[in-house]
Amino acid sequence: MLKNILNIKKDKVFFISITIIIFIIVIFLYKSKQDYSHNYDVDILIKNTTILTLNENSQIINDGWIAIKENRIINIGNNDIPFKNPKTIIDGKGKVAMPGLVNTHSHIALTLLKGVDDDSNLSNWISNINAYEKKLSENDVYWGSLLGEIEMIKSGTTTFNDMYFFDDKRIESINKTGIRAVIDIPFSFENNDLIINSEFLEKYKNEPTITFSIAPNPLINFSKEKLIKINEIAKNNDLLIHLHIEENRNEKNEFLKIHNLTPLQLISNAQLFNNKIILAHSINFTNDEIDYISKQENASLSFNPKSNIKLTGQTANIKHFIDKNINIGLGTDSSASGGSLDIFDHMNFIAFSFRNCDNNNSCEQDNKPIISSENIIKMATINGAKTLGLESDIGSLEVGKKADIILINLKNIGSIPSYDIFSNLVYNTDGSDVSDSIIDGKIIMRDGILKNINEKEVIEQVNLISKKIKSLK
Ligand SMILES: [Zn+2]
């Protein structure tokens, strides 16, 4: 009798357990179906393409697809596509999808002054360019910025880090084109008090593609005490510090005369390395100084070799920066110094110029690149993003990151055949091969046509401005 009762109880427990398990499975299946159906809601699907992820393993996905919802990448895969009704489909057959390029140092509206003084050395160039810059109006800077942004977008750049003036006009141009940018904020000193325009920061704090830096320039004009104040403001407002430093061979002597400190000692004494900091140019650091910089985890180099060679005949000691594992982003500097704003052009220049070859006798045996094609591409993407402190959002194609993606046509004659994508992109491709650009989840360029801006109107306006500039000569 007791045995029977126990058996009935056992059966009852078994029955309840099975019911609970089935219930959990049904709920689980229902939930996963819901999540899956949620994924059908895709804004943009790029398909049939080779994906250069630039993730930690530099994974390349063949016949791949990328799904974008709002401004983020929500899924990446290959072969079967689990999305039925994307709002927009981009067929990437014969193309490479890669992260948008990051330009870590520019002076955007200097597009207006390209070619006005190409044959001067740095000090003459700066004084000549400054004389022209004083005559530029807000409106000129607006059109010059648009011109630069169009050149950048058409050649694959989706983010630039800019140092210039007339900030409202630069921001207006950025909102017009839809590019992503880091903009240096306006500030001044009155009786040694640092004045920043907090209304400016408040007004623009929610811009979807804009973040901010502070750029004490020229650095030689700032005392240690002033730099300490700049550092505090940077810390309190989450600003990058963006510096021109060691841009010419005489800079150390000039700083020693005025500050009794080298440029590196000055910024180090002012504790600037406590903040995220970009050292643009840096052609004249000694190996000991580069060793010191390598111990500052917030510091990155913005490498601008074309501009530096043109104006000084010298570049940053890139081999030592690499050997010391310092993060390096690529910069164009301005159109008036570095030539084009096409990052492919600058990557190509690095690949051809920086071989491990310092004299004619050893060249033949040791003429390997100091930096591989893959690492040059990283410099222009994920490492550029790290330079700007934006690596959690951009710089690689990964689920959860913002959708800043470019497509490059490898069907063009100069890119055929393709054995190694990194090599092909660095040695054989240029900005004119970029066909599509998506920034912050929005299609900014499709099949070479800009979506947000009338290119012809910008060219006409810049031609009018150039007449005024010519008359200043
Ligand atoms: Zn510069």
Global pTM value: 0.90
In sequence order, the 6+-apart residues with CB closer than 8 A to the CB of 18 are: none
374 CA distance to ligand 1 middle (Å): 26
DSSP line for 393-462: TSSS--TTSB--EEEEETTSGGG-S-S-HHHIIIII--GGGEEEEEETTEEEEETTEESS--HHHHHHHH
Residue type, 57: N
416 CA distance to ligand 1 middle (Å): 36
334 CA distance to ligand 1 middle (Å): 7
42 CA distance to ligand 1 middle (Å): 40
Lowest mean pLDDT among 17-26, 105-114, 153-162, 314-323: 17-26
371 CA distance to ligand 1 middle (Å): 23
Residue 216 has pLDDT above 80, yes or no: yes
Q: What percent of the chain has pLDDT over 90?
A: 81
Residue type, 442: K
**pLDDT digit string, tens, across residues 268-283:** 999 999 999 999 999 9
178 CA distance to ligand 1 middle (Å): 23
CA nearest to 68, candidates 92, 95, 86, 48: 86
Q: Considering the chain, what is the average pLDDT of its residues?
A: 92
DSSP line for 193-212: EEEE-HHHHHHHTT-TTEEE
8 CA distance to ligand 1 middle (Å): 85
3 CA distance to ligand 1 middle (Å): 90
Lowest mean pLDDT among 287-291, 311-315, 364-368: 364-368
307 CA distance to ligand 1 middle (Å): 8
Residue 5 has pLDDT above 60, yes or no: no
Q: What percent of the chain has pLDDT over 70?
A: 91
C-alpha span between 80 and 65 (Å, rounded): 9
Lowest mean pLDDT among 76-90, 295-309, 442-456: 76-90
301 CA distance to ligand 1 middle (Å): 12
398 CA distance to ligand 1 middle (Å): 31
Q: How far is CA 276 from CA 226, 234, 300, 369, 428, in A?
A: 18, 9, 8, 30, 34
Q: Which residues surround ligand 1, an ion (CB under 5 A)?
A: 333
244 CA distance to ligand 1 middle (Å): 6
